Amino acid sequence: DLLTIPECLGVKIAMGDHRCSFPTTQEVLRVLSDCRVGGMICGHDSYLHVHLGDLPIAFPAFMECVKMGMPIKHIRPTHVGRHPEVFAQAIAFTKAGGYIDITTSGGNYMGSAADAFVMALNEGAPIDRITFSSDGHGSMPRFDKNGEMIGLTVCKVSDDLKMLQELAGKIGLEKALLPLTRTIATALCLDNKGVIEAGKDADLLVMDKDLKPIHLFMKGRQVMKDSEVIVKGAFEE
């Protein structure tokens, strides 16, 4: 897939989750090796995207792989804020040079993704090693007041914007933009993304003072005008 599909950037597995297959460290190392070699053949980096649960067993495995010679840049854990011990391990992972991803659609024990971001910074995590993602359209459990699961909901892509607005109120807009723009582009080696510069992809979002979208350009093409979407996908009404 890495060789034949340019948009393919790696492999996704699950670890530390009661629903996962509990891969061994050696199995994780093998997949990481496949990602690394595949990326070398294709001419771009490749990554192991790891869904995390509440069990604090993934990061020790990651660091064992690093000790065995695997560059830490290939390991990309997401949902890092679901458990205090897992989050502490995630912060240590950033200090060792790794990237972590915080889910904007919920599942962070300390509150919102913005709260998790600020907590990570207060604990010494480098600001340029933290990204945001929505887990867009993924399933998210719903719980009652007793903590019992009562059903499922859907993670919303719009939660990224919501967290930008919340985080900007905590640390300022310039820093709040990083996990959704420059940091994620740098983390995935997407050289034409993440910044507004000559020669880049001309992705531009214009917002009002309340950080609500007004105009949006994608590769120079306007797709939102005056807060109305004017270009839609093939399956959108």
Is the predicted pLDDT of residue 147 greater than 80, yes or no?
no
Give me the active site residues, please: 135
Q: Which CATH superfamily is domain 10-196 in?
A: Metal-dependent hydrolases (3.20.20.140)
Compare 42 and 90 and report the one with higher pLDDT. 90
Minimum mean pLDDT range among 147-156, 177-186, 212-221 = 147-156
> Quick one: pLDDT at residue 136?
84
209 Cβ contact partners less than 8 Å away, ≥ 6 residues apart:
none
Burial 187-207 (b: 16+ CB within 10 A, else e): bbeeeeebeeeeeebebebeb
- Residue 115, Cβ neighbours under 10 Å: how many? 18
Task: Take residue 189 and report the two structure tokens written for it.
Answer: 């080696």
Is the predicted pLDDT of residue 144 greater than 90, yes or no?
no
> Quick one: pLDDT at residue 237?
82
Helix (H) or strand (E) holding 161: helix 159-171
Check if the beta carbon of residue 81 is closer than 8 Å to that of residue 112: no
> Quick one: pLDDT at residue 76?
98
Query: What average pLDDT does the structure give for the chain?
Result: 94
Query: What's the pLDDT band for 140 if we cut at 50, 70, 90?
Result: confident
Is the predicted pLDDT of residue 141 greater than 80, yes or no?
no
Q: Where are the domains of the chain?
A: 10-196, 202-237
3-state helix/strand/coil string of 72-88: HHHEEEECCCCCHHHHH
Nearest C-alpha neighbor of 27 from the set 64, 67, 2 = 64
> Quick one: pLDDT at residue 137?
84
Is the predicted pLDDT of residue 113 greater than 90, yes or no?
yes
* pTM passes above 0.75: yes
Helix%, strand%, coil% for the chain, nearest 5: 35, 25, 45
Q: Average pLDDT in the 40-53 region?
A: 94
Long-range CB contacts (< 8 A, 24+ apart) of 113-118? 113/81, 113/159, 113/163, 113/167, 114/163, 114/166, 114/167, 114/170, 116/80, 116/81, 116/87, 117/167, 117/171, 117/179, 118/167, 118/170, 118/171
64-111: per-residue pLDDT in tens? 999 999 999 999 999 999 999 999 999 999 999 999 999 999 889 999
